[in-house]
Amino acid sequence: MEGFTINTGVCGSIIKENKEEILETLKTMNLDNVDYIELRVDTIKNVTSTMVHDIIIEIQNYTDKPIILTNRTEDEGGYFKGSDDERIKILCDNAPLVEYTDIEYMTKPELRNQVIDAANKTIISYHNFDKTPEKQYLKNIINEASDIGVIPKIAVKPHTLEDTYIILQLMMEHDNLVAISMDKLGTYTRIIGPIMGSPITYASIEETSAPGQLDTKQTTQIIKKLKS
Ligand SMILES: O=C1C[C@@](O)(C(=O)O)C[C@@H](O)[C@@H]1O
């Protein structure tokens, strides 16, 4: 039967301020609704490499779900307050422990390459919380990100429905791409992504880690429905 196969993993993002809250979220969430756990360490107050290491070990003692390690810059919607050198050090120190490490495409190449070299696998990400750039601009990022990392990811803000169509076109034209049109206007791209071969779709566990996210239960149920 003609159709599509869905191999998308649902990623639940944990965005908490300290180890206790992170572990509380982990132990109260339904792990059946996720395939990956994103640990957003930029939301941890006064975060250090040692803190992140200890949290990762605690998570891995509790579940085998693969971890995506993210330390998001403020420029791209995150909360990390330190220097880029400090941000990259936290990622490099802990990247060998986890399945994927997320590094922003816009990071200075010498720092970006340090993370790529330290990581098992990388997600090369680009976020624009102000607009949806021109399609060719995004295509260029996707192509270069695909060359330097394992999964290219773009997450951009739509102002019109036509903006969201750009994301649809990019998903049609690229395999293995995580492409998100944020806000409510773009929420449907989080569901279309799995049909288009996206390897990961991000969902919220408690509070959302980005505008327009569905929660992990909704996302998993929809994907199950699409697969049936
Ligand atoms: O980059 C992404 C995608 C995301 O911004 C989203 O739009 O769901 C959520 C972030 O936590 C994650 O790191």
Query: What average pLDDT does range 184-208 have in this prediction?
Result: 93
Closest C-alpha to ligand 1, atom 4: 210
For the chain, how long is the longest CA-to-CA vector? 54
Q: Per CATH, is 9-227 categorized as 3.20.20.70?
A: yes
3-state secondary structure of 60: helix
Average pLDDT (61-90) is: 97
How do residues 102-119 score in pLDDT, each as one tens digit? 999 999 999 999 999 999
Global pTM value: 0.96
- Quote the ligand 1 centre to 1 CA distance (angstroms): 34
Q: Hey, what long-range contacts does 48-52 have (CB within 8 A, 24 or more apart)?
A: 48/90, 49/89, 49/90, 49/93, 49/94, 51/19, 52/90, 52/93, 52/94
Pocket of ligand 1 (CB under 6 A): 13, 38, 40, 70, 102, 125, 127, 153, 155, 180, 182, 202, 209-210, 213
Give per-residue pLDDT as tens, 122-139.
999 999 999 999 999 999
Weakest-pLDDT range from 45-49, 91-95, 177-181, 189-193? 189-193
Model confidence at 1: pLDDT above 70? no
**Mean pLDDT calculated for residue range 166-178:** 96
- Structure ipTM: 0.97
pLDDT, position 2: 61
Q: How far is residue 156's CA from residue 186's CA, in Å, rounded to a whole number?
A: 9
Residue spans per domain, the chain? 9-227
Band (pLDDT 50/70/90 cuts) for residue 149 is very high
Identify which of 13, 80, 201, 216 to mutate to test ligand 1's pocket (most ligand atoms within 8 A of the CB): 13
pLDDT, mean of residues 49-73: 98
Please, is 87 exposed, middle or buried when counting C-beta atoms within 10 Å of its C-beta (0-12, 13-18, 19+)? buried
Q: Is 152 helix (H, G, I), strand (E, B) or coil?
A: strand
Average pLDDT across the chain, whole number: 96
pLDDT at 27 over 90: yes
